[in-house]
Structure 1
Amino acid sequence: MNFRDLLSLCAKNLMRRKTRTLLAVIGVMVGTCAVVVMLSIGFGMTKSYEEQIQNYGDLHMIELYNYGSGMSYGSPQEQQGVISDKTLASIEKMDGVTAVTPVVTAYMTIGIGKYVTTDEIVGIKPDVLKKFNYGLQEGRYLNNADKDALVFGSYIPQWFYNPQSKNYDSKEQDVITDKIILTADYEYGQKPQSGQTDDNKIEYKQYKMKGVGLLEEQNDQPDYRVYMNISRLEEIIKETQKAEGTKNLVVPGQEKTYERAYVYVGDINDTERLCKELKDLGYQTSSPIDWLASLKETANMIQGILGGIGGISLFVAALSITNTMIMSIYERTREIGVMKVIGANLKDIRRLFLMEAGLIGFIGGVIGVLLSLLLSFLMNTVLRDIISIALSSFGAYGTTISIIPLWLVAAAVVFATAIGVFAGYSPAKRAMNLSALESLRNE
């Protein structure tokens, strides 16, 4: 018999026992729906975790630390995790790394007219800011020719206030066109205190700066920072330390090292791997991907539990298919005997019963997937608020509760069909081994 004949005969046989077939199909449908919906909730939780992490950090960014580097002795080759120009050049060559820069920071006062704000100034290599993919509201990024140029985080313009007003009145400033003063003097712009003398007052320099860019909102640390050329910031820090009578201890002949650096990864799928490789090299690393990995473990555990619950339903459905096919053999003993007497191939008999079982699994799988898509839609719309409250106990606060990717739809139908075929294998083998004479005599 060809495939079309087998399929036609399967359909007729299933329709002859509509109630039993329907119950078996319902069992597969419920099992498939349970597995798909449970897994979709797990995918939704994972997506929720990713959204939360992205709201609080850049998954492309790895921050390197080596706060003990300034007290380390010996050559950089003998030290582990040293951040120097040489080691950063090596890191930049690692597979997946897009940009690397040493980082120097200082808290300084920025003045525009009578308004001031004190913010974290971050010194970086000028050419890397563009590679970090921070969008621009206005202006441009830093370039290598910039010396006294600043790029502002999105929140900085709103933080300017008048220190001489009674209520410290605030006013948003135009950081691109206005004249800017940068100084380490935290009292810049304030009224002199009564009785205060200039005898012990430190004379901090005031640096004329130019705002060249304003970043788009990142929902992360860049919103609160001001970026400038690292070489220029180091000069300002040295001059500030000289004015204060302090300076960093530098060992003669020792290579210049940094306490921090940024490593930007082009593909977030490489971030976790690079974090591990950098840790193996002795660096202290920090990245939002660390939090995401922990949250994904939680999501995978919950997903496994939910998938297991659905799997039990599919197992019960498989038993239902097996029972249906065994009962079908008992009822069709004469039919099987006649098929053998007229010369039907034993493999055709086995294929017939396997196809019937597979068809039950296929139909149940398709209906189960369609029901899953409907339930997923309802969970993401009508029932979203109710389910969100339940999932919030696991730290999931995303707007999407259930996600059913296309591959899951296909896998569910294939798996349900395979379950049907597997459940029908033993009955099919039994039918194939029945004696033709015994079958006819029993009838």
Structure 2
Amino acid sequence: MFVVFDADAYFNSRTDSTVKPPKKYSLNSAGIIDETMSKNSDYSYTVYTDLELLKVRLKQIFKKKIIPGQPTMKNGKPLPYFVYDSIEVNVDNVKHVKEVLTLLNKSGYQAVGKIEWLEQSEMQSKMIQTVLGGIGAVSLFVAAIGIANTMVMSIYERTKEIGVLKVLGCDMGSNISRIPSWLSLAALIFAALVGITAGIFPALKAMNMSPLAAIRNE
């Protein structure tokens, strides 16, 4: 495996023939990240190594020269120490992320966590669910009013017929109830199955989605 320590020069040389490509250094690797994790993700073009070993290797390669990506003093000479533009902190539990972010910000660091993006996505999802739920509730209310109006008008129109049936001594229970009980039960079971099927497949798809893909998705 080879590595380059001047990433900007490397990518510029691939698009601009006038830019001289940086020197490549051969290193022994212990393994390669799985393609499903590294493809089109934050892990692409990333090497994981021991920090102290990296410092020793950089000093051996560049000696007293300027290390790419490192700031210099006013006279143009490299600093005698390493400067880091960012660090990555891994928290043992997602519940502790906010607490760690607060401590880092109070310590003077500009800390940003992916939990904020997830919370923003959850908030947007809740807003969409609320709007859709409101629309559905209004639709159900209007439908209920329409059904009630239809039933009331049907009773008013058949008032005379019902009176005649009562005078003749007919059993009103068997005449008014026209829908069989088995049909009502079948309709209820069918509606439940449709609702479960419509909800479980999107939920399973969301559970199997990669966290990085979920964060990138807007």
Alignment TM class, shorter chain as reference: 0.3 to 0.5
Give the number of the structure whose residues are more often strand, by fraction: 1
Give the number of the structure whose residues are more often helix, by fraction: 2
Structure with more relative contact order (C-alpha pairs < 8 Å, separation 6 or more): 1
- TM superposition score normalised by structure 1: 0.26
